[in-house]
Amino acid sequence: MAIDATHDPALTSWVASAQAAGADFPIQNLPFGRFRRAGSAEPWRIGVAIGDQVLDLAAAARAGGWSAEVAALLVPLAAGDLNAFMAQGPAPRRALRSALQAALRTGSARQAALAPCLVAQAEVEFSLPCSVHDYTDFYTSVHHATAVGRLFRPDNPLLPNYKWVPIGYHGRASSLVVSGTPIRRPNGQFRLPGAPEGSAPDFGPCRRLDYELELGAYVGRANALGEPVSIGQADEHLFGLGLLNDWSARDLQAWEYQPLGPFLSKNFGSVLSPWIVTMEALEPFRVPFTRPEGDPQPLPYLDSAENRAGGALDIQLQVRIQTAQMRAAGEPAVALMQSNFRDSYWTLAQLIAHHTVNGCNLNPGDLLGSGTLSGPQPGQGGSLLELTGGGKQPITLPNGETRTFVQDGDSIELHAWCEREGVVRIGFGACVGAILPAP
């Protein structure tokens, strides 16, 4: 991949809102989502975000005027099947990106034909952007791993395998939901602090409900069973990124996770943002991947000159909270923390290479969660578990409310954006989830 004419900061769109200050979706972005008009029975179709609008690719396909190649690429998208488009790999994706950008740029002869194909984002509803049949959650932040480990193993917070292998577990794809979907507080087993050893666990609503700030990487091109993807090929198998809130029941998790890892503490609902920002849009924000001095370098199958030169991504990440009391008072969500994906201990290419090194086959639309993305500084924890020291140090919000863990009625927002000198800022849109009482 490389920076090309589609990243030109001088490019503007005839969709005026694409040039708004701080806009997530300028013409240099063009992320994909699956939508229909809110409250309608219209068929789901794929669109691309531009400013505060969605370009309906079904309507755009009917408008005609495309080359034969581009018209063919629009067929599955008009039918709402992003997976079929993802499966074609990066070359067709780049071709469509270039064609859409040419059609949406200021002065385009396609403006009159495509203007009626725009739908305001405020007037649509979203589904998951693609069908996710498999979901793996990784543990890429060494800062999160260390902070959480320190809560349970003060003398040995980081397990000995962490700096050698990208750790992950298989998640539950069926409980992935799109931004805006409320999540019910889960019921389950847990052991109360101070309970006598050997006593029966308690059962009831989770008392230590937490969010986890993550990115979700979507697989594009598949690999066959038994055929690993080398790290040099891994980027060609990635389609793009979205935001992921991997809600976690910390008390259920502490009781159940040994010896096989997370189970009911993680599969009651995970929220994905509606847009997938493509790897092409992210290309200008690649940065070198480095390890701290004295840390082991990755094994050869996880290492390459290209990955060292630009395997990491400079993506700013932020969590905001709006409590029920704030909502009733008309107060906006407030920031709890901010971190950066570039501080991850493993790159996306390394996740693909490791996931497939044993011959595991990944398919179009498969989701790879980054794990909680915490930063190295105090206050950069990607979960309340870290920010409150395991619930021992409550956070005081601007309105005077305090939080150790998420309460019923709280709404959590994840946000992400990329910006650097000489490049147009792009964003991911919001990933929002509110908590309902346990059933």
Domains and CATH numbers, the chain: 5-126 (2.30.30.230), 135-436 (3.90.850.10)
Q: Which residue type does 85 have?
A: F
pLDDT value of position 406: 98
Q: How far is CA 419 from CA 88, 330, 346, in A?
A: 29, 30, 21
Rounded Cα gap, residues 211 and 112, in angstroms = 44
Tens of pLDDT, residue by residue, the chain (439 residues): 689 999 999 999 999 999 999 999 999 999 999 999 999 999 999 999 999 999 999 999 999 999 999 999 999 999 999 999 999 999 999 999 999 999 999 999 999 999 999 999 999 999 999 999 999 999 999 999 999 888 878 888 898 999 999 999 999 999 999 999 999 999 999 998 888 888 999 999 999 999 999 999 999 999 999 999 999 999 999 999 999 999 999 999 999 988 888 899 999 999 999 999 999 999 999 999 999 999 999 999 999 999 999 999 999 999 999 999 999 999 999 999 999 999 999 999 999 999 999 999 999 999 999 999 999 998 999 999 999 999 999 999 999 999 999 999 999 999 999 999 999 999 999 999 999 999 9
Cβ pair 89, 153 in contact under 8 A: no
Q: How far is CA 199 from the centre of its chain?
A: 40
Question: Which string of b and e fits 380-417 if b means at least 16 CB within 10 Å?
Answer: bbbbbbbbbebbeeeeebeeebebbbbbebbbbbbbbb
Residues in the chain: 439
* Six token digits for residue 185: 């507080």
pLDDT of residue 119: 98
Q: If DSSP states are collapsed to H, E and C, what string results for 236-299? A: HHEEEEEEEECCEEHHHHHHHCCCCCCCCCCCCCEEECCCEEEHHHHHHHEECCCCCCCCCCCC
* CA distance linking residue 123 with residue 35, whole number of Å: 10
Q: Rounded to whole angstroms, how far apart are CA atoms 213 and 315?
A: 13
- The Cα 344–Cα 376 span in angstroms is 10
Asked whether the beta carbons of 335 and 361 are under 8 A apart, the reply is no
Q: What is the pTM of this model?
A: 0.97
Catalytic annotation, pick one of 143, 144, 237, 355: 144
CA distance 228 to 362: 10
Which of 52, 65, 62 minimizes the C-alpha distance to 22?
Answer: 52
β-strands 213-219, 168-170 pairing: unpaired
Report the pLDDT value the prediction gives residue 245, as an integer from 0 to 100.
98
What is the enclosing helix (H) or strand (E) of 104?
Answer: helix 90-104
Please tell me the distance from the alpha carbon of residue 171 to that of residue 180, in angstroms, as a whole number: 21
* Three-class SS state of 56: strand
Q: Which residues contact 334 (CB under 8 A, 6 or more apart)?
A: 320, 321, 322, 326, 397, 398
Rounded Cα distance, 424 and 8, in Å: 8
Query: How many alpha carbons lie under 13 Å from residue 103 in its C-beta half-sphere?
Result: 26
pLDDT confidence of residue 21: 94
- Is 144 tagged catalytic? yes
Beta strand spans in 113-207 (E): 118-120, 124-126, 135-138, 168-170, 176-178, 183-184, 187-190, 202-205
